[in-house]
């Protein structure tokens, strides 16, 4: 067969823009994770649960800005509030009056003492690591293999380490995720396997004199959706207490998956929380929040925290509307039920069609992995059939469904603007392509499978 993958896509204007974009932008995209083979989609607009590309193809969107749009696209309440605010300025160079109100909302909703706002998730995790080191006077931070916490050199480590480089499963070797990372930074980064409490204890004990803390996604969402085993988060809490270290939950994603975040979901309280994505309702809002004794150390000349766009009027306005008028507990509960419907439908189709796949889900997010057994950590994820997943993504896309984020390590996200009909359409499409996914062989080219 002489077909190329590009022949099977129906977005000529996206391809044209990509070819032009590569002349002005490295890799042709402004985030490496947006590239899909053989070219990325270029979008024109999003409304409700749908997006349109530059070729006017319509898609039901279950990516939702990589989890940032639990409010959905262009929510009317946010559009109205931002339209009213923008005439009063987008940045004042002063503290915005409503930042106090939003801080109080976050304080009560997420059970934290104090809050500092920033713009991106990466800023939040970078700041949280700094705060932990300042509070303890120590240097070493433990993170988990396969987890992504943004572009901070100290934790952009062992995100997607290749087989053969990562060391033993119980004692992974820190592997920089990018060229340009100073080797000296790795000496202060400890890497552990997720869901292996005994390994965490051993690594912490071996570095007890300089152990500042642990940062983790309570539910890793850069390996699909991996739930912590019973007692794992509680064990991390005990270890940090034992060594007087700081437990940091990176809830940039999970703060928008549950009304009170993952700490409410699992009844484990970290010392610091990093939040972002969904709390901004589509605007660049993030926060570090946590215990008063740590947060009060953030003062000029002691612990640095700054940002020109921190708590600007637009993001604060969007955050207030999002958390007080849209993502209520009632709305989040209903959304979780819709998520259960989607996950149950996936499980039924996988079983009925005999697909070699695993469905993992919780609340409004889930993931499909073509793996031989449940995924509990990064080493398990590496056993996934990436080719089969890529076929799944392409076939869904060509039928008007963006099923998840743009990679096998991503997940689907439902928004409050998704409907039962949207979920049924998603499942009908998955069922339609299931036979082709079942018959796909690893040695086959995707174009042959289609």
User: Alpha-carbon distance 155 to 174, whole Å?
Assistant: 10
* Residue 277 annotated in active site: yes
Catalytic residue among 53, 61, 196, 250: 250
φ/ψ (deg, to 5) at 358: -125, 135
CA-based nearest residue to 144, from 231, 67, 248, 290: 248
User: Alpha-carbon distance 379 to 387, whole Å?
Assistant: 18
CA-based nearest residue to 107, from 273, 328, 311, 321: 273
Cβ partners under 8 Å of residue 52, min gap 6: 43, 44, 45, 46, 58, 59
- Cα-only R_g, the chain: 22
Q: Distance from CA of residue 302 to its chain's centroid?
A: 31
Contacts of 406-409 with CB under 8 Å at 24 or more apart are 406/33, 406/34, 406/35, 406/36, 406/40, 406/63, 407/33, 408/224, 408/369, 408/384, 409/160, 409/222, 409/223, 409/224, 409/381
E strand or H helix at 191: strand 189-192
User: Alpha-carbon distance 219 to 210, whole Å?
Assistant: 26
Max Cα-Cα span within the chain: 66
Check: CB of residue 279 under 8 Å from CB of residue 285: yes
Catalytic residue among 259, 277, 346, 385: 277
Give CA angle at 118 (117, 123), nearest 5°.
130
CA distances from 313 to 73, 280, 284 (A): 20, 12, 12
Check: CB of residue 275 under 8 Å from CB of residue 263: no
E strand or H helix at 18: helix 12-21
* Residue 196 annotated in active site: no
Check: CB of residue 124 under 8 Å from CB of residue 118: yes
Catalytic residue among 39, 42, 59, 148: 148
* Residue 250 annotated in active site: yes
Provide the annotated active-site residues.
Answer: 148, 250, 277
């Amino acid at each position: 067969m002489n077909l190329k993958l590009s022949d099977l896509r129906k977005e000529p204007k996206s391809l044209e823009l990509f070819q032009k974009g590569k002349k002005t932008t490295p890799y042709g995209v402004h985030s490496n994770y947006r590239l899909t083979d053989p070219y990325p989609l270029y979008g024109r607009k999003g409304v409700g649960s749908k997006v349109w590309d530059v070729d006017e193809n319509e898609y039901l969107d279950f990516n939702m800005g990589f989890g940032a749009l639990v409010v959905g696209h262009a929510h009317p309440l946010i559009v109205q509030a931002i339209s009213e605010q923008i005439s009063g300025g987008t940045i004042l160079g002063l503290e915005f009056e409503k930042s106090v109100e939003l801080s109080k909302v976050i304080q009560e909703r997420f059970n934290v003492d104090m809050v500092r706002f920033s713009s991106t998730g990466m800023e939040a995790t970078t700041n949280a690591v700094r705060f932990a080191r300042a509070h303890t006077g120590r240097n070493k931070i433990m993170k988990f293999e396969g987890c992504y916490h943004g572009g901070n050199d100290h934790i952009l480590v062992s995100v997607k380490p290749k087989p053969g480089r990562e060391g033993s499963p119980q004692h992974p070797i820190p592997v920089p995720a990018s060229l340009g990372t100073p080797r000296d930074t790795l000496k202060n980064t400890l890497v552990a396997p997720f869901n292996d409490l005994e390994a965490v204890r051993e690594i912490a004990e071996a570095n007890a004199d300089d152990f500042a803390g642990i940062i983790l996604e309570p539910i890793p969402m850069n390996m699909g959706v991996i739930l912590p085993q019973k007692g794992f988060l509680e064990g991390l809490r005990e270890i940090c207490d034992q060594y007087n270290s700081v437990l940091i939950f990176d809830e940039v994603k999970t703060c928008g998956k549950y009304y009170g975040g993952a700490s409410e979901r699992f009844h484990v309280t970290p010392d610091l929380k990093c939040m972002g994505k969904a709390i901004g309702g589509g605007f660049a809002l993030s926060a570090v929040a946590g215990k008063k004794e740590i947060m009060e150390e953030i003062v000029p000349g002691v612990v640095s925290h700054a940002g020109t766009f921190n708590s600007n009027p637009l993001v604060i306005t969007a955050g207030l509307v999002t958390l007080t008028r849209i993502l209520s507990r009632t709305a989040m509960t209903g959304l979780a039920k819709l998520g259960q419907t989607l996950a149950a439908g996936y499980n039924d189709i996988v079983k009925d069609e005999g697909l070699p796949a695993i469905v993992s889900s919780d609340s409004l997010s889930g993931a499909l992995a073509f793996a031989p057994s449940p995924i509990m950590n990064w080493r398990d994820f590496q056993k996934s059939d990436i080719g089969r997943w890529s076929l799944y993504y392409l076939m869904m896309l060509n039928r008007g469904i963006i099923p998840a984020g743009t990679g096998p390590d991503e997940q689907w996200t439902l928004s409050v603007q998704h409907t039962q009909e949207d979920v049924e359409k998603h499942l009908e499409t998955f069922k339609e392509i299931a036979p082709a996914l079942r018959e796909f062989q690893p040695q086959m080219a995707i174009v042959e499978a289609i």
